Amino acid sequence: MDKIYRARPTSRLKIRSFANQIRKIVGLEKSTDFPILAVFEFLSAQGIFTFEILPKEDMENKCGETFPEERHILIREDIYEEAYKEIPFARTTLAHELYHLFFHGGEAISLCRTDSEIKARRAYEDPEWQANCFAGELLVPKDLVVGMSVEEVMKNCNVSVTMAKTQLEHYSRG
Ligand SMILES: [Zn+2]
């Protein structure tokens, strides 16, 4: 069985505000097409983390893996190549791993050990939910996609149909 983790609880609103801060820090709060690969490489060049590109056979079914304590990220070779080609799934993977790096160090994360602990875990305590939520909020900024269709969001933000739909659904609820 895979390890089941529980992270410090957070909300979509908090994650949205963090994503907006990042967009502001890099001066891209008005840009719909977030250059996640350039930002990823920039942050690493600043010494914030190190990363390694590993061949497919070393990563198996994992697209990326983050070790927050070591401030180290592994990205599967084909995913990294796809990020250069601006493929939405690869872009999402980089954003996803960055969230784990920023938020899942130290005591923010613990392992669920028993069935009851696993059952008691809420979605917002799931580190994978949090990282996916962050990727959506970073790549599809709420303020900039008001009134856009799913197709327009896909095109302007360069994200998958699933991500465009999910974000628009959340934003329509306020
Ligand atoms: Zn993850």
Residue ranges of domains in the chain, CATH in brackets: 4-140 (1.10.10)
Q: Cβ distance 40 to 64 under 8 Å?
A: no
Residue 50 has pLDDT above 70, yes or no: yes
> Is residue 6 predicted with pLDDT exceeding 60?
yes
**Rounded Cα–Cα distance for residues 120 and 107 (Å):** 19
Å from CA of 74 to ligand 1 middle: 11
**Six token digits for residue 144:** 């900039």
Distance 103 CA to ligand 1 centre (A): 11
Q: Ligand 1 centroid vs 32 CA: distance in angstroms?
A: 24
Residue with tokens 């996803």: 96
Cβ-based neighbours of 144, under 8 Å, separated by 6 or more: 30, 31, 32, 156
Residue scoring higher pLDDT (60 or 77): 77
Tens of pLDDT, residues 126-168: 999 999 999 999 999 999 999 999 999 999 999 999 999 999 9
Alpha carbon of 126 to ligand 1 centroid (Å): 10
- Cα 130 to averaged position of ligand 1 atoms, centre (Å): 9
Q: Which residue's structure tokens are 């799931």?
A: 126
Which residues have a beta carbon within 5 Å of ligand 1, which is an ion? 128, 131
- The string of pLDDT tens digits covering residues 78-121 is 999 999 999 999 999 999 999 999 988 876 677 777 888 888 88
Report how far ligand 1's centroid is from the alpha carbon of 128 (Å): 5
> pTM score > 0.85 for this model?
yes
Alpha carbon 28 to its chain centroid, in Å, reads 17
- 93 Cβ contact partners less than 8 Å away, ≥ 6 residues apart: 63, 64, 75, 79, 83
